[in-house]
Amino acid sequence: MSQDLVMDRGTEDAKQFARLLYIAHALTFLFSAGLLSILVLIVNYVKRPETQGTIVYSHHSWMIGAFWWYVVWSAVAWVLAVTVIGIPLALLVWGAAWLWAAYRIIRGFLDLNSNRAMPV
């Protein structure tokens, strides 16, 4: 006997909306280096309370956390970039932050599709 995960219509709609937010984060991340992700972040903050008690809530928190950590590491890279000596290190930090943000977006999208909550 197999066990199937049953979700109500509201949870399915919230999952679909979260998928769209992951895609929006990915697109803004690719085409604006994350600068336009602030718009998607606002939607995450607005929609998160509606998903309290579901796996989708953890996905909103995951996207929010990913955005803010990306901002922190980008700021560190900018501080390093103002010095000539720090430019190579700044490029390394930016590259690592970019890869990390890409990982968070991809992992979150895949885990959402597999009905898994994110570790937040």
pLDDT tens column, 28-38: 988 988 789 99
Domain ranges of the chain: 1-114
The pLDDT tens digits of the residues spanning 86-116 come to 899 999 999 999 999 999 999 999 999 999 9
Q: Write down the mean pLDDT value for the chain.
A: 91
Question: Cα–Cα distances in Å, from 13 out to 50, 51, 54, 68, 109?
Answer: 11, 10, 12, 26, 15
pLDDT grade, residue 1 (50/70/90)? very low
φ, ψ (nearest 5 deg) of residue 56:
-65, -30
Helices marked H in the chain: 9-32, 37-47, 55-81, 87-113
User: Lowest-confidence range among 20-24, 33-37, 45-49, 60-64?
Assistant: 33-37
